[in-house]
């Protein structure tokens, strides 16, 4: 091979290695930002337009940045959002039946009136979420963080809440009559007209 072609190929190889290195560094920086934000409880602001478009077209967006996005009334049944960031997102009346949100961050998201039946939210963060009137029939919430969440009249029949954190959650009118609450944390939760496996709990209702 002529010397100039060897040099040309060598230059192309170096360029490709540099591009790949920069891509890896960008991924690492994004991961660090997300981890630090999750640890400190600070949502990452601003969603990625490309990620949002990808979700709308394919219903598959793993590890995507959808912070503060507006997905109200979106039809996302069966969607894959594993490890995605949906903190502060507007998800009122969204259809997420059978969707996979394992390990997703939905801190302070608005999910009022949403259909989350049979969805997978295990190991996800739903801290301070508004889940009022949400349909969570047989939803998997194992080891999920629901601290301070509003579950006002939410339907949770058959839901898996094994080792879920429900500390300080509002359970007014919620139906957990057939939910799996083994090892769930319930300290500080608000109980009024709450249907539990052992009966209706009105311990926090006003006199």
Residue 70 region, left (φ>0) first, then alpha (ψ -120 to 50), else beta?
Answer: beta
Distance CA 156, CA 15 (A): 54
Per-residue pLDDT tens digits for 128-162: 999 999 999 999 999 999 999 999 999 999 999 99
Distance CA 54, CA 31 (A): 19
Over 90: is that where the pLDDT of 14 sits? no
**How high is the pLDDT of residue 46?**
77
pTM (2 d.p.): 0.77
More confident residue, 47 or 122: 122
Over 50: is that where the pLDDT of 44 sits? no
Please, which residues have CB within 8 angstroms of residue 42's CB and are 6 or more apart in sequence? 36
Over 80: is that where the pLDDT of 42 sits? no
Mean pLDDT of the chain: 88
The correct answer on CATH 2.160.20.80 for the domain covering 43-207 is yes
Distance CA 187, CA 205 (A): 16
User: Taking a C-beta distance cutoff of 8 angstroms, is the pair 179, 197 a contact?
Assistant: yes
DSSP class per residue in 175-197: B-TT-B-TT-B-TT-B-SSEEET
Structural domain spans, the chain: 1-40, 43-207
**How high is the pLDDT of residue 206?**
86
Average pLDDT over residues 78-106: 98
| Band (72; pLDDT cuts 50, 70, 90) | very high
Over 60: is that where the pLDDT of 2 sits? no
Over 80: is that where the pLDDT of 61 sits? yes
The CA–CA distances, whole Å, from 154 to 21, 44, 45, 114, 137 equal: 47, 27, 28, 10, 9
Per-residue pLDDT tens digits for 183-206: 999 999 999 999 999 999 999 998
Over 80: is that where the pLDDT of 43 sits? no
Considering all CA atoms of the chain, what is the largest pairwise distance in Å, rounded to the nearest integer?
92
Q: Which two tokens stand for residue 36?
A: 């630090």
**How high is the pLDDT of residue 7?**
44
**How high is the pLDDT of residue 47?**
86
Per-residue pLDDT tens digits for 167-178: 999 999 999 999
Q: Which two tokens stand for residue 194?
A: 């709450």
Q: How many angstroms from the chain centroid is the CA of residue 103?
A: 7
| Residue % of the chain over a pLDDT of 90 | 76
């Amino acid at each position: 091979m002529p010397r100039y072609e060897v040099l040309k190929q060598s230059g192309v190889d170096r360029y490709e290695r540099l591009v790949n290195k920069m891509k890896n560094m960008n991924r690492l920086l994004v991961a660090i930002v997300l981890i630090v934000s999750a640890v400190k409880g600070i949502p990452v602001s601003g969603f990625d337009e490309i990620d949002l478009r990808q979700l709308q077209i394919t219903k598959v967006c793993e590890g995507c940045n959808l912070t503060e996005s507006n997905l109200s009334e979106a039809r996302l049944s069966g969607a894959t959002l594993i490890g995605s960031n949906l903190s502060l997102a507007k998800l009122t009346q969204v259809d997420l039946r059978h969707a996979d949100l394992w390990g997703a961050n939905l801190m302070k998201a608005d999910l009022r009136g949403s259909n989350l039946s049979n969805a997978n939210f295990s190991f996800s963060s739903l801290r301070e979420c508004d889940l009022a009137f949400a349909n969570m029939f047989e939803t998997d919430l194992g080891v999920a963080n629901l601290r301070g969440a509003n579950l006002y009249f939410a339907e949770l029949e058959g839901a898996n809440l094994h080792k879920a954190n429900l500390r300080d959650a509002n359970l007014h009118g919620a139906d957990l009559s057939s939910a799996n609450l083994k090892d769930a944390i319930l300290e500080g939760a608000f109980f009024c007209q709450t249907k539990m496996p052992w009966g209706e709990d009105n311990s926090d209702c006003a006199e």
